[in-house]
Amino acid sequence: MGFQSLPDKFKEVQDLREKAKMGGGSEAIEKQHKGGKLTARERIEKLLDSGSFVEVDQFVVHRCYDFEMDKKKVLGDAVVTGYGTIGGRTVFIYSQDFTFIGGSLSEMQAKKITKIQDMALKAGAPCIGLNDSGGARIQEGINSLAGYGEIFYRNVMASGVIPQIIAIMGPCAGGAVYSPALADFIFMVRKTSYMFITGPKVVKAAIGEDVTFETLGGADSHAKMSGVAHLATDNDEDCLKQIKILLSYLPSNNMDDPPIMECADPPDRADEELNEVVPADPKKPYDVHEIISHIFDRGSFFEVQAQFAPNAVVGFARLNGRSIGIIANQPMVYAGCLDIDSSDKIGRFVRTCDAFNIPIITFVDVPGYLPGTKQEHGGVIRHGAKVIYAYSEATVPKLTVIMRKSYGGGYIAMCSRHLGADAVYAWPTAEIAVMGPDGAVEIIHRNELMKAKTPEETKEITNKLVSDYKNKFANPYIAANMGYIDAVVLPKESRALLIKTLEAMITKRDLQSRPPKRHGNIPA
């Protein structure tokens, strides 16, 4: 048998490349499209800068021979891996290919994914996973499970070092859900993606509950109910677009600073309308999004977990071009009270910002923690402690604006001076006290109120005492007298002041002596 000529060898490479690009074949690709989904390669093409993708391990195939698997082999083994750029910045990526055996994870697919994870960690670049898989490849047994374990381990090793973003763009069940759960951000696509530990059939068999895929683990279920998904998108294209936007706020790794964008929005802009957002009546709600839109660079707010725990608002924005993490109480929901879910949401977001050198600005209007047996029995104490832990632990610049109510434990938890805030400002509408005037009067003046002979007399005395309490305590000046508040400012002055403060604190170094330890033990 003679040697192949060079042209034949070159043609063979080209032929194999084209074969690899077909994945599970044209019929499977057509079925993917009919289901409203892009293919693994199409997703990469739309996400990365044009022509930047460099593929790795294109010719890998699985090594399983049981169950006639030796007759089912496709180049690439149901995942496309490599690296490229987004906005000129390097990212590493893997995209599971549902057209071959449902994108199921094999030993070799896992090796491809872990290679990309290792490369991303070495290069100090974000790692993006586009998941579309039926789960572990059952035919491979323990080898498939071992592959998941290797992926999970690398998720943990990369945590807080490089951004990890995973988009669920198809099924994600069983062990497959834990890699996304270990990432920094999870995106889902409505109607075509779902996540759950056990599917509807197992749920029915185990506990007799009838439930649909969407209700059990669809995008909206995880965006609203569980908080697992940071963003639910309408289709694959929208999902990939949102990933690009998110990356524009994040550094490539924990040693880099976030990107700074050119800003055409004047740093000294002072919107008169901002003075009117917080109502004079302290019981009247308002939308904190309006405050965010007035203070930060126009159109720059990128909210995450918007549907989950809406009594707290978290997300990224820009302030004079700098990337900022925003945490705000939302008076439109539960009067802005902290509860179990919002505490988890805030604590996690604070730690994400701190891991990636993103300054934090907190807007406070919190009556305290939400009362009730449901909260207490659900563990609001340990969940609420996560907020305190996260803010105390964070070493990035931390600025706080108290807009209105700031009572009791809520005052302390929402990045008060006592938890290490670098600057705390209050608006004239701020009320900083142990509790609200009505509750305080009932406790402090209990004996005096008991002496009233009629309901009318009780009401008259109460109104007077509440008024006196408000005049004395329901304002920012006592806290300012104590140095807990740096300044009382008009709302319209906030943008310019925050920009100046941020510029002054951007070179912050954590000079506080902290005890040596392996790591802290954050409340579960």
pLDDT digits (tens, 9 = 90+) for 12-32: 899 899 988 998 899 999 999
Residue type, 197: I
Inform me whether the pLDDT recorded for 155 exceeds 60.
Answer: yes
Return d(Cα 324, Cα 272) in angstroms, integer.
Answer: 23
* Tokens coding 78: 């149901």
For the stretch 214-229, pLDDT in tens is 999 999 999 999 999 9
Residue 2: predicted pLDDT: 64
Compute the CA torsion angle 15, 17, 22, 25 (nearest 10 deg): 50
Q: Which domains does the chain have, with CATH numbers?
A: 13-247 (3.90.226.10), 272-435+475-505 (3.90.226.10), 437-473 (no CATH)
Grouping H, G, I as helix, E, B as strand and the rest as coil, residue 392 is helix
Average predicted confidence (pLDDT) for the chain: 93
For the entire predicted model, the pTM comes to 0.93
Residue 72: predicted pLDDT: 80
Paired sense of beta strands 185-189 and 164-168, if any: parallel
Q: What is the DSSP letter of 223?
A: I
Average pLDDT over residues 402-417: 95
For the stretch 353-384, pLDDT in tens is 999 999 999 999 999 999 999 999 999 999 99
Inform me whether the pLDDT recorded for 262 exceeds 60.
Answer: yes
Inform me whether the pLDDT recorded for 460 exceeds 90.
Answer: no
Paired sense of beta strands 79-86 and 89-96, if any: antiparallel
Residue 450: predicted pLDDT: 76
Under 8 Å between Cβ of 93 and 48: yes
Average pLDDT over residues 474-492: 93
For the stretch 422-453, pLDDT in tens is 999 999 999 998 877 777 777 787 877 777 77
Under 8 Å between Cβ of 347 and 312: no
Return d(Cα 176, Cα 246) in angstroms, integer.
Answer: 23
Q: Which residues pair with 171 in a beta bridge?
A: 194
Average pLDDT over residues 264-283: 94
Report CA-CA distances (Å) from 122 to 44, 126, 161, 200, 303.
22, 11, 10, 40, 30
For the ranges 67-81, 141-155, 283-297, the lowest mean pLDDT is seen at 67-81
Which residue in the block uniquely carries the two structure tokens 């939308």? 287
Under 8 Å between Cβ of 471 and 431: no
Residue 510: predicted pLDDT: 76
Residue 98: predicted pLDDT: 94
Q: List the one residue out of 303, 281, 284 whose CA is nearest residue 292.
A: 303
Return d(Cα 130, Cα 233) in angstroms, integer.
Answer: 14
For the ranges 135-139, 294-298, 491-495, the lowest mean pLDDT is seen at 135-139
Q: What is the DSSP letter of 2?
A: P
